[in-house]
Amino acid sequence: MTEPLDESVDTPHDETTLIKPLAELALWIAERVKPPGEPIRKTIDKVRKRIAHAVKIGALHPAPKSLTFYVPEVEAWAKNKWPSEFSDVPRVEIIRIVERLAISVSADMRLVPGDLDRCKQELKNAFQKIDEAEDLNKHLMKELKAAREEVDRLRPLAERYENIRRKNRLAASRPRRSPW
């Protein structure tokens, strides 16, 4: 008769769950690294902050779901951070492979019309686009002229305003006269 396997090895996962929430992982780590006499809540908070820092510097990577992590990666990180407290956890080597692929496809096709009627239609469309572009250009030129007139109208006011500001800055830097 065989004896059942010893399940005293305290790992935070079984074969079916490789992603766990931050709260569960922080509790699992905190129970192992808690100094004597310190409340577990305080240790959990410290562990959560260390995990957040590890994410910030790139030592840990969260799973796609919010506030979840890959358990083997957290185990490896914890074993590296606190080797004596996690000596019973099997060593796991985490290798990240990141590949980027960019594909860009561009096609510019010009169909040559096959007969005279299609050629005429294409020419008509081209002339229509030219007319639209000319109308837009005329409209933009009118707006540019109006904007330049507005600038010319406001220029004397702006110069007067700058002169007043210059005088006020100069007056503010001078010592005040005492009324006595």
Domain count along the chain: 2
What's the angle, vertex CA 112, arms to CA 111 and CA 118, rounded to 5? 105
Is there a domain that residue 105 lies in? no
How much is the pTM? Answer: 0.45
Q: What are 72-84's pLDDT values in tens digits? A: 888 888 988 888 8
What percent of the chain has a predicted confidence (pLDDT) above 70? 78
Q: Choose one of 58, 81, 104: the last residue of a domain.
A: 81
State which residues form the domain around 74.
19-81
- Whether 152 is covered by a domain: the verdict is yes
DSSP state of 37: T
Domain end (from 37, 64, 81): 81
Instruction: Specify whether 28 is located in the same domain as 68.
Output: yes
Q: 106 in a domain, yes or no?
A: no
Gap between the Cα atoms of 98 and 91, Å rounded = 23
Q: How far apart are CA 16 and CA 65, in angstroms?
A: 17
Residue 147 has pLDDT above 70, yes or no: yes
Q: Is the pLDDT of residue 99 over 90?
A: no
pLDDT attached to residue 95: 66
Average pLDDT over every residue of 1-15: 44
180 assigned to some structural domain = no
